[in-house]
Amino acid sequence: MAKDEVKQIRKNENQDDQTEKKVEIILMSLYSLQQTDTHIDRIRNIRGELPLEVQDLEDELIGLETRINNYKSEIEDIEKNITAKQSSIKESEALIKKYADQQMNVRNNREYDSLTKEIEFQTLEIQLAEKRINESQLEMETKQKEIGVAQLDYDERKKDLDLKKAELTDIVTETEKEEKELLKKSESNQKAIDDRLVQAYKRIRKNARNGLAVVKIERDACGGCFNKIPPQHQLDIKMHKKIIVCEYCGRILVDEEIANRVDNN
């Protein structure tokens, strides 16, 4: 074999080695990124629905507070209406007294009958006003009862909110530091990967039910969808020559060697 041919073969081997190492680094970074993001997901799952529950309770309290304030405003209007009716009664009573006094000095029956009609009219006005006052007082009592019920609901929800907030604060305090460190690690892993590949990873992860975009082969199957991987396909994955995805679910596949290197670091 000529020297030039030997050099070319060695050159190709070196290029293959470099390509393999480059792909290995990318695969390790992707698998490490996945492990980190999975850990972050686990921390956030510990919080569960608490943030949403807190938000729902806060919204419910605002609604109850608005309802109570509306009832109070309606009661103020009713009280003003009662006061106005009471003033109207006093005016009618004053007019009745005035007309009764005038009847003592009338000159004929026509004037007397006219004043009698005025007294009767004012008496009816008083009766109507008293009826409206009674109705308003009943309405006000109903509103006050509704305020009492709403206030009880408010107090109970407030206790629930305080408990949920305390629980959430405890969980956040316990996990906040760890989550920040993991987020930094995730950002660091992303910097070692081509932007286009990072976007592809995020897209796969978003569409995956369990948030897994990078999985290892387990028992000759995809660790995400558990479909069997053909032997030749498995061999290609072990060669680390290129990024290979599962033909069934689209997840990025790594072999046991890559996974072990990341897990042992």
Shared-domain flag, residues 57 and 166: yes
Shared-domain flag, residues 76 and 133: yes
Range of lowest pLDDT (95-99, 170-174, 209-213, 228-232):
170-174
Shared-domain flag, residues 71 and 177: yes
Shared-domain flag, residues 164 and 63: yes
pLDDT at 69: 96
The mean predicted confidence, pLDDT, of the chain is 88
- Distance from the first to the final alpha carbon of the chain: 43
Answer whether residue 84 shows pLDDT above 90.
Answer: yes
Residue 20 maps to a domain: no
Domain termination site, one of 188, 222, 256: 188
pLDDT at 19: 54
* Predicted model pTM: 0.56
pLDDT at 176: 81
Residue 254 maps to a domain: yes
pLDDT tier for residue 20 given thresholds of 50, 70 and 90:
low
Residue 138 maps to a domain: yes
